Amino acid sequence: MQLLQRYDTRISNDGIRIAPRMVRAWIETVGSESSSATLMARVQPNQSIGGLALTANGESLLFSVVETISSEDGDEKKQGKQNAEAKRRAEELAKQGGVTLGLADDGRKVQANIRMMKAVQGGGVTTITNGSWSDVQPAVGPGGTVTFAANRMRPKGVDLFRISSDRPGGVSVVRQGSEGLSSNPSLARDGTMAYEFRPIYPGMVGESTPQIWLQGGSAAYPTQLREGSEPSISPDGAEITYIGTDGQLWTMPVSGQNPVQLTTSKNPSNPAAPGQVMTKHSPVWTPDGGSIVFVAADGKDEQGLPNYDIWLIPKSGGIPKQLTSNGSEERNPALDPEQEWVYFVSDRGFREGIWRIPFPTGQ
């Protein structure tokens, strides 16, 4: 086992936060599913992955690469001073109404852009977006479109944008507003979109509670459904699964009425970050709409500590099935349209990468 520093992407009232965090990583051969796990691609040591999705035909993977940029000068002390000065200038610019892009919590310069590569054999990486901002959380929509969250337009802001994966170029605005932050888009086959919205009120102190919103389909205008985060809309656009304010997995119809709680297991404390609770996260529907794949720390690693793994549960509830058990931290599951493979992000092998395992037969 090794400890690795990874830059996590999260949405807070301050916008897109790129925060360094220590995670545990194991060699690839640890765990009962290791023989069936295949490495598709690895990012560089100064890079992390800020979201993962598959194109509608299942031929390509879309992912956001979060990259920290160091000074050409190798002097760490000098680099630290430069980081601190960059952070101070960015904060001053924000006070003046300027756009602050590409700074991590520790002051390092970062940028995040969306890439695409072949899903079956890996390789063939192409650029979808490119710039000094942070483009994260890609989601696939009809006609080869990619919707993503980014801080392109306003200080500490997060809005939703859209670009074509077939003909990258012009970027259109999908959802933008100074009253809050929009993130975590998810699209049904007909283009109906569920997304997370974090309201920002004048004089607000502390973090606001995220909400689930719907746009399109039965919602002629953007419609608030209820509080929660990380929504995933079913392929037919009829249901939404999400993480409730209790950190558990829930489902509801797109009307927002009569939500159903799917998981009840206790959310454990994170052994790597005392005081932090390891809630469920990253739910995604199977293409047939019958089950939900998600991330939970309900299992334990080789040291008997809670660990984030990939799980599967029927949409009607029941006993969740654990799909990975390597001991490294897994996240961001995505499924191909034929429901043959589960792709996910993991730091197994001591460097972050994209892996896949066969979808369990008979599920």
Q: What is the pLDDT along the chain (363 residues), one digit of tens a residue?
A: 666 666 677 788 878 877 766 676 666 655 555 558 888 988 888 888 999 999 999 999 999 999 887 644 444 454 455 445 444 544 454 444 333 334 445 556 778 999 999 998 777 889 999 988 899 999 999 988 999 999 998 868 899 999 998 876 789 999 998 889 999 999 999 999 999 999 988 877 778 999 999 999 888 899 999 999 999 999 999 999 999 999 999 999 999 999 999 999 999 998 877 788 999 999 999 999 999 999 999 988 777 888 899 999 999 999 999 999 887 889 999 999 999 999 999 988 778 899 999 999 766
What is the full DSSP assignment across 287-313?
Answer: TTSSEEEEEEEEEE-TTS-EEEEEEEE
Domains and CATH numbers, the chain: 2-358 (2.120.10.30)
pLDDT at residue 15, rounded to an integer: 80
DSSP for residue 57: T
- For residues 133 and 341, give the distance between their C-alpha atoms in angstroms, rounded to a whole number: 32
Measure Cα distances from 319 to 15, 251, 283 in Å.
36, 16, 16
- For residues 351 and 5, give the distance between their C-alpha atoms in angstroms, rounded to a whole number: 10
| Alpha helix segments (H runs only) across 9-162 | 76-95
Tokens of 154: 């306003």
pLDDT at residue 74, rounded to an integer: 45
pLDDT at residue 5, rounded to an integer: 67
Q: Which of 303, 283, 301 is nearest to 293 (CA)?
A: 283
Q: Which of 19, 21, 27, 8 is nearest to 301 (CA)?
A: 27
Cβ partners under 8 Å of residue 331, min gap 6: 281, 282, 295, 308, 344, 345, 346
b/e for 118-136, b at 16 or more Cβ within 10 A?
Answer: ebeebeeeeebbeeebbbb
* 42 class by beta-carbon count within 10 Å (0-12 exposed, 13-18 middle, 19+ buried): middle
Question: Which amino acid type is present at position 250?
Answer: W
> Are the CB atoms for 201 and 161 separated by under 8 Å?
no
